Chain A
Amino acid sequence: MNMRTLNLPLLLDREEIYPFLNLGLTPGPLPANVDKLIDTYLRSITQLAKPQGLIRVCSIRSITTDRVVLDDASLVIAGPRAVAHFTDCEKITLLAATLGPAIDEHLGGLQQTAGAADAFIFNGIASAAAEHTIEILDAIAVRDIRRSAYYPTARFSPGYGDWPLAHQRQFIDSVSGGKIGLTVTSHHLLQPVKSVTAVIGWSRVLLERSYERPQGKPCQGTLTCRDCPLKEKCLS
């Protein structure tokens, strides 16, 4: 199985965090207490997080209008809108990233002992860290794809477009998510919470790798806005 496990660095810039705290992209001088909480929790997340990732490359066995079936993996990319992203592809890279369980535990503790602002800021920074981690995995995968003379598609995740989130369990099984402590709840949510899964297609045809990141919004950068479940609120 073509699979890699990586321990990833976490070098989060403040600018990456601001959108996740509803502060826009460049908020200018922040109130001292907000600034201090960001500093405090950025430091603690950097210390608590153990960012890890899994990368697996699978060949495509078959593509129909509503299913992409992979070789040697139970994961299926389902839904006509989701499949449309991969029609020119020959392979699929599966990515899974997590910050590890200590972040969830600490957040749980903060919610019991600290104010809502502390929990909100910790949670926002952790979300930014998870996004940062999947971005690094994305860049590694894209580098490999380009060097193999293919073009990468945009990143796409279960739950986006019409790809049911119920496929999350197959996803985690297909990348042996247990290796980095990843599991799925009965409602198809990842545990630890600060985790992300995504696929990238290998295309012989150059594709627009479009991330329509709405300015200053906490965009997950996973796909075009059209397929995003947050689009109505985000773009309003």
Chain B
Amino acid sequence: MADFITTLKKQVLLGDGAMGTMLVEQGLPPGENPELWMLAHPLAVQQVHRAYLEAGAQVIQTNTLSGTELKLKEYGAADLVEEVNITAARLAREVVQDRAFVAGIIGPTGQFPAPLGDLPWTELVEVFGRQARALEAGGVDFIFLETFSDLGEIRAALVAARKYTGLPVACSLTYTKGRTLTGTSPQIAAIVLEAMGAACIGANCSTGAAELLAVMKEYRQFTRLPLLVEPNAGMPVLINGATVFKETPQDMARFTEPFRNLGVNLIGACCGSTPAHIKAMGEALSAREPAPLPEQEGPPATRLASRSRAVTLGSKELPVLIGERINPSARKAVAEALRQQNWDFIIQEGALQLDAGALLLDLNTGLAGGDETRLLPEGVRRLQMSLDCPLVLDCTNPTALEKGLQEFQGKALINSVNGDKKSLNSILPLAKKYGAAVLGLTLNESGIPDKAEERLDIAREILAAAEHYGLPREDMIIDCLVLTAATSPELALETVRAITLVKEHLGVNTVLGLSNVSHGLPQRSWLNAAFLSLALGAGLDAAITNPLDHRIRETMIAGALLTGRDSGARNYLAQAGSLGSPANPPVNEDVDPADPGPALQQAILNGQQETVIPLVQKLLEKSDVLSVINEGIIPALEMIGGHFARGEAYLPQLILAGDAAKKAFTYLKDNFPRQQTAQGGTIVIGTVKGDIHDIGKNIVSALLENHGFRVIDLGKSVPAEAFLEAARREKAGVVALSALMTTTMVEMPQVIKLLKQELPGVKVIVGGAVVTAEYAQEIGADGYGADAVEAVKIVRGFSLAPGL
């Protein structure tokens, strides 16, 4: 029989459908493991295979979805891995002979590898390897990894299948709302799994064909591999007491042509489907020729990925900043943190660089006297749990690097190889095995050549070696290397020329360890930025540098526009906007000096905290304190309160306006202590005993204060006696009680009872997430505030003595 992948590239193949539901029809009892049941009922399983074959299926799947030792162990049958998988493969082969391909199915273990779970990734590789070997021994044509929902787990299965068998491997994940359970999109899966050597990728199970159509569209954008799809027949529903998968054979058949047109070459079905579905799907295919792949435009881009974020390097992309600061050789603080295992510091360093615009982080754990084989994988584990970006593993020790690559659940960039054969032969196979891109330095045993042409020659040798190891050209990035201008200023332009030559002659992407140029010189930022500008002009695609240097960031943004990489200046304008104008615009210079009141009101309405004090000051030149409050602040608060009540403003806007008003009040209180700013009376407020939630209470408190009330905030979990004592001491007119939980709101009647008994004149209002108007009435409260605005309205309705 022809090779599976060769056939798949030439024609659209029809897969089979559900196994589990078919076995139930054959008598599989509920709760029984289908794989173990098969050992006693081989003919039943063969009956299912036969039914699908007769329906037209050209790929028949073994009954081994739960055939790993971890799944079989749940049934006390871990020692039956070989028996189950070899038997299943033989049963399928006996039925199909050479009339169809046999797919050796491997499914997820139900465990998650580190860092999500506690199962070591390397152990998982061995678990999958054992099953893959048995399936190959049973005679399957390819290994089919299906129904996976975690990228880390399917990576382990893929590495295992490639390591322990000589068979092609198809990879399929399940998606809900366009992502897997642990957050991987089809884009990321395509980038990572293709780089690791998957022969075919796709999706199965999920919620049905309609959702998977969108998933396959996304796959096609990011890979040229053959695609596969096997959707569920919808989700199960209960109809007249019976479980029904709602999508009929005709429903599913409608999707086969759209799938074929997207370049999906293996089309089957999953849960709830039957041979009737497969037959209808086969009949709906108008042709078996695969749809042509879309034309590739321009040189291929280099794609890197973390579990959930992709970064693309290429001539048509914005140049990429790679954060260089996690490097113990360059920074003592990092060395100390690594020595102390202070990973929080390292994560913080990473976070700062990402915040500053880096898209990739270089991780160097080469600490003098440290154990890189331990530090690098640990660093990878820590960073990828906290930060969502692809990593650049800056390491030339193959043992440490392999451990780091195993831990990184994405597609990393290796930093680096050079023209030295030893470097190439030790690192490139690791890149191939774990699906990483590689940064190639244009130096060799003789050092860094002076001339650009000689650096180009080394780059050529690196690319030839990469090709030899099967690495695609787009996964090689060349660093033409720059020396410090302190000793070799004349060579800086030679580096720029080398970048030009590499781009022209080799067409690959380029990167530069930028900061070397300024080593040993003062004002390094000047040199770094100037050199970056020259390099961008030559076609540089990425720079390893310090993203916290604003000059570098600005040069990157401006350089991208000037080198034609920023279409429509979109990035430039967006960045210029966010860097140049804060969320709160500065004070309008056109404020009418004769009447700054409207401007103050507008500033409060917009929550422009930085502008209210200058406006209050302007207003005070013409008015007294009370006028500022009554004609500037209060009307603005009433306006925003009205907007909020009518649904014309959001709650965060209301609170921001409150914060801005509070700034104005605080200024007035601090600068005019003798003037009376609190005019509305005194209110004691707090969250009742046992309740530790106080966000809502704080909002009410702030808004009351802004409306001129004197607010005594007792905080959270306040006992009844404390409310009484404060109300008595402060001569409060109102006590406001808040509770978020049903278990704590029962404290409210206790407080009310005590207050009514001891201070009968005091009004009590209540509010909080679970409190209702009915409850407020039931417990004898004088008012109920559904939200902060209403609370203010109620309190203003009481006639209170002015605050102290």
Chain A interface residues toward B at CB < 8 A: 4-9, 11, 21-23, 27, 30-37, 43, 46-47, 50, 111, 115-121, 123, 136, 139-140, 143-144, 147-149, 151, 159, 165-166, 185-189, 193, 204-208, 229-230, 232-233
- Can you name the residue of chain B whose Cβ is closest to the Cβ of A209? B235
Interface contact B387-A47, CB-CB below 8 Å: yes
Given A159-B742, A233-B769, CB of A21 within 8 Å of CB of B651: yes
Closest to A165 in B: B743
Which B111-131 residues have C-beta < 8 A from chain A?
111-112, 115-118
Asked if B183 lies at the interface with its beta carbon under 8 angstroms from chain A, I say yes
Known: A33-B606, A115-B659, A229-B742. A207 touches B653 (CB 8 A): no
Q: B222-264 toward A: CB 8 Å interface, digit per residue (1/0)?
A: 0000000000000011100001000000000000000000000
Secondary structure type dominating chain B contacts = loop
Of the stretches B331-339, B427-435, B674-682, B692-700, the one at the interface is B692-700
Question: Closest CB-CB distance, A106 to chain B, in whole Å?
Answer: 13
**A12 to B, closest residue via Cβ:** B183
Given contacts A119-B695, A193-B693, A230-B770, contact A5 B308 (CB under 8 A): no
Chain B hits for A37, CB < 8 A: 583, 652, 656
The distance from the CB of B701 to the nearest CB of chain A, in whole angstroms, is 8
Contact A208:B238 (CB < 8 A) given known A37-B652, A47-B387, A148-B31: yes
Q: Is the CB of A186 within 8 A of B690?
A: yes
Q: Please measure, in the bound complex, the distance between the C-alpha atom of A46 and the C-alpha atom of B386, giving whole angstroms.
A: 7
User: Nearest-CB distance from A226 to chain B (Å)?
Assistant: 15
Q: Which B residues are in CB contact (< 8 Å) with A32? A: 583-584
Name the residue of chain B whose CB is nearest to the CB of A144: B110
- A47-B344 Cα distance, complex, nearest whole Å: 10
Contact B308 A9 (CB under 8 A): yes
Is there contact, CB below 8 Å, between A30 and B650?
A: yes
Q: A117-B659, A149-B31, A185-B690 are in contact. Are A206 and B652 (CB under 8 A)?
A: no
Subset of 28 A-B contacts with CB under 8 Å = A4-B117, A6-B112, A21-B650, A21-B651, A23-B652, A32-B583, A33-B583, A33-B606, A33-B607, A34-B607, A37-B656, A47-B386, A115-B658, A115-B659, A116-B658, A116-B702, A117-B655, A120-B652, A136-B182, A147-B66, A147-B110, A149-B20, A149-B31, A165-B742, A187-B744, A189-B743, A193-B693, A230-B770
User: How many angstroms between the C-alpha atoms of A205 and B236 in the bound complex?
Assistant: 11
Q: Mark B93-137, 1 if CB is under 8 A from A, else 0.
A: 000000000000000001110011110000000000000000000
Q: A23-B650, A116-B658 are in contact. Are A187 and B690 (CB under 8 A)?
A: yes
With contacts A47-B387, A117-B659, A139-B181 taken as known, whether A33 is within 8 angstroms of B584 at the C-beta atoms is: yes
Within 8 A of A (CB), among B724-743: 741-743
Interface string of B163-193 (1 = CB under 8 A from A): 0000000000000100101110000000000
- Whether A117 contacts B698 by the Cβ 8 Å rule is no
Using Cβ atoms and an 8 Å threshold, which residues of chain B touch A151?
236
The answer to whether A9 and B183 touch across the interface, beta carbons within 8 angstroms, is yes
User: What are the residues of chain B within 8 A of A188 when measuring CB–CB?
Assistant: 743
**Contact: A47 with B650, CB < 8 Å?**
no
What residues of chain A lie closer than 8 Å to B658, measured between beta carbons?
115-117
A197, B742: Cα distance in complex, Å: 16
| A22-B651 contact, Cβ under 8 Å, with A117-B658, A206-B238 | yes
Known: A165-B743, A207-B238. A111 touches B698 (CB 8 A): yes
Residue of A nearest to B241 (CB): A205
Given contacts A148-B31, A233-B786, is CB(A187)–CB(B743) below 8 Å?
yes
Any chain A CB within 8 A of the CB of B624?
Answer: no
**Chain A residues whose CB sits within 8 angstroms of the CB of B31 once the complex forms:** 148-149
Chain A: CB-nearest residue to B700 = A116
What are the interface flags for B607-630 relative to A under an 8 Å C-beta threshold, 1 for contact and 0 otherwise? 111000000000000000000000
Residues of A near B347 (CB, < 8 A) are: 47
Q: Assuming A9-B182, A116-B659, what are 19 further A-B pairs, CB within 8 angstroms?
A: A11-B183, A23-B651, A31-B656, A35-B583, A43-B355, A47-B387, A111-B698, A116-B702, A140-B181, A149-B30, A159-B742, A165-B742, A187-B741, A187-B744, A189-B690, A189-B691, A193-B692, A205-B238, A206-B237
* Interchain CA distance A148-B118 in the complex, whole Å: 22
Q: Are A9 and B238 in contact (CB under 8 A)?
A: no
A11-B183, A189-B692 as given contacts; A21 in contact with B238, CB under 8 Å: no
